[in-house]
Amino acid sequence: MPDSIAQQRNEPDFARAGERIYALAAELYPICRSITGEGVRATLGLMRRHIDLDVHEVPTGTKVLDWTIPKEWNIRAAYIKDAAGNSVVDFANSNLHVMSYSVPVRRTMPLAELKKHLHSLPDQPDLIPYRTSYWVENWGFCLPHRQMAALPEGDYEVLIDSTLADGAMTYAEYLHRGTSEQEFLLTAHICHPSLANDNCSGLALLTILAEHLAPLSTRLSYRFLFSPGTIGPIAWLAANEANVHRIRHGLVVAGVGDGGGPTYKRSRRGDCPIDRAMAHVLRHGFENPKLIDFEPYGYDERQFCSPGFDLPVGLLQRSRFGTFPEYHTSADNIDFIVPRHLGDSLRVIWRAIEIAESDYVPINLSPKGEPQLGRRGLYASTGGDKEGPARAMAMLWVLNQADGTRSLLGIAERAGLPFHVVRAAAQALTQAGLLGPAPAA
């Protein structure tokens, strides 16, 4: 019989798990991903060494909600050479050099014309920006501004050896089945090329989390979704519209390897169980937590929280996206993420899962006056001791608040105590016959 998540010995060693997440993120980092193509498949191939993914291919042209699956993009090589044939920019050095979804090009052109297709960051002159053009056919190169500004006049040879053709969009799922059909959705986007925090960190963290859950028995089912940003969730929602009511909790996971936050962005509803659980977890056990309200910009929570679905899905990040200078540049590299932060991010999610697994509405079976804890061995025998009462405080809170109107999490919130302390008190009271589950409403 599998072990339950509620048994503490099944908790991951977060430090060690952080190292494993980092190692996987480092493997994923070099691959050139986009919203379609072989890069996504190669990424899923590495993740499959850990978990048994169910891979879906959605053909080009398929209608999904308001969108259409685009052509598949692949790239083999790209460069700019000067008139002397010296390499100026080479895709082999960084896959950020080529704007994602660039159409094939093989031409020689003067600098003035080339510049219309060059992207750089004047304020961060040593970094390569990240650019895409998924929905308008175009091509472009990205390079450090200092380098671009120094390009001499003259003719340049431009090559982009890419293909944009009918194919498919690829995404993958992994379902950990619990005793209930109710689901906890955990999802990360799989469309960014060599950006380590955004989102190799999220892909690797969820893979290692799924691997750790695999042998454990859970109440909820855990659905892991790895799909390209925006079009991926759109396609998944289109295919699974009949089943989204099963999603009782959800987290979009992105940018979980840097040293900021942790930051939780609430779901559109703002007061779902996942919102309350995440707020509780961040407040108890993390030094610099940030809680922000939903806004319709960000990651794939935009789709899950569109008004026609309005699912209980929030976003976990470390630094809030767009607020750190490395965001969407070549500085978001494998040195920007840190095993310790990845392990800590895993700990956030694990604590939320613990709450989702074990929260329930208790009821005091001896509600008139306080029951005599002392004769049940639950209370210090010597009265008057100033410290003794503190030890029984969690039990007193549970007894006092367990009137069938609130769950353990609600009691923990009211008492200002960590969930696990309240849960332990509830377990002791249950063993003493003083507490039971409230009848279903």
Residue 169 near residue 369, CB atoms below 8 Å: no
Positions in 281-300 near a copy of itself (CB under 8 A): 295-297
To a copy of itself, the closest distance from the beta carbon of 210 in angstroms equals 25
Closer residue to a copy of itself, CB minimum distance, 62 or 217: 62
What gap in Å lies between CA 345 and CA 223, rounded to an integer?
A: 18
Total residues contacting a copy of itself by CB under 8 A comes to: 62
Is residue 319 a contact point for a copy of itself (CB under 8 A)? Answer: no
Is residue 370 a contact point for a copy of itself (CB under 8 A)? Answer: yes
Q: Which residue has the tokens 């779902």?
A: 272
Q: What is the DSSP string of 196-242?
A: IIIIIHHHHHHHHHHHHHTTEE-SSEEEEEEE-TTHHHHHHHHHHGG
Is residue 274 a contact point for a copy of itself (CB under 8 A)? Answer: no
To a copy of itself, the closest distance from the beta carbon of 159 in angstroms equals 21
Binding a copy of itself (rule: CB under 8 A), the pick from 36, 207, 227, 401 is 401
To a copy of itself, the closest distance from the beta carbon of 95 in angstroms equals 13
Residue 262 preceded by cis peptide, ω within 30: yes
Q: What is the number of residues in the chain?
A: 441
What gap in Å lies between CA 273 and CA 292, rounded to an integer?
A: 16
Per-residue binding letters, 61-80, with a copy of itself (x by CB under 8 A): ----xxx-------------
To a copy of itself, the closest distance from the beta carbon of 198 in angstroms equals 11
Positions in 128-167 near a copy of itself (CB under 8 A): 129-136, 138, 140
CA-nearest of 191, 186, 197, 172 to 22 is 197
Binding a copy of itself (rule: CB under 8 A), the pick from 372, 391, 431, 436 is 372
Q: In this structure, which long-range contacts are made by residues 210-214, counting pairs with CB atoms below 8 Å and at least 24 apart in sequence?
A: 210/50, 210/51, 210/174, 210/176, 210/186, 211/50, 211/51, 212/12, 212/17, 213/5, 213/176, 214/51, 214/176
Residue 199 preceded by cis peptide, ω within 30: yes
Binding a copy of itself (rule: CB under 8 A), the pick from 303, 319, 330, 358 is 303
- The single-letter code of the amino acid at 53 is L
Is residue 327 a contact point for a copy of itself (CB under 8 A)? Answer: yes
What gap in Å lies between CA 430 and CA 228, rounded to an integer?
A: 46
To a copy of itself, the closest distance from the beta carbon of 148 in angstroms equals 16
128, burial (CB in 10 Å: exposed 0-12, middle 13-18, buried 19+): buried
Is residue 375 a contact point for a copy of itself (CB under 8 A)? Answer: yes
Given the rule CB under 8 A, which of 87-95, 204-212, 229-237, 335-343 is the region that contacts a copy of itself?
Answer: 229-237
Given the rule CB under 8 A, which of 102-110, 247-255, 275-283, 381-389 is the region that contacts a copy of itself?
Answer: 381-389
CA-nearest of 157, 420, 122 to 280 is 420
Relative orientation angle of helices 419-431 and 388-401, to the nearest 10 degrees: 80
Closer residue to a copy of itself, CB minimum distance, 184 or 397: 397
Binding a copy of itself (rule: CB under 8 A), the pick from 122, 152, 383, 439 is 383
Binding a copy of itself (rule: CB under 8 A), the pick from 51, 164, 378, 399 is 399
Q: Which residues bind a copy of itself (CB under 8 A)?
A: 65-67, 99-100, 129-136, 138, 140, 230, 233-234, 237-238, 241, 268, 295-297, 302-303, 305-310, 322, 327-328, 364, 366-372, 374-375, 381-386, 389, 393, 396-397, 399-403, 415
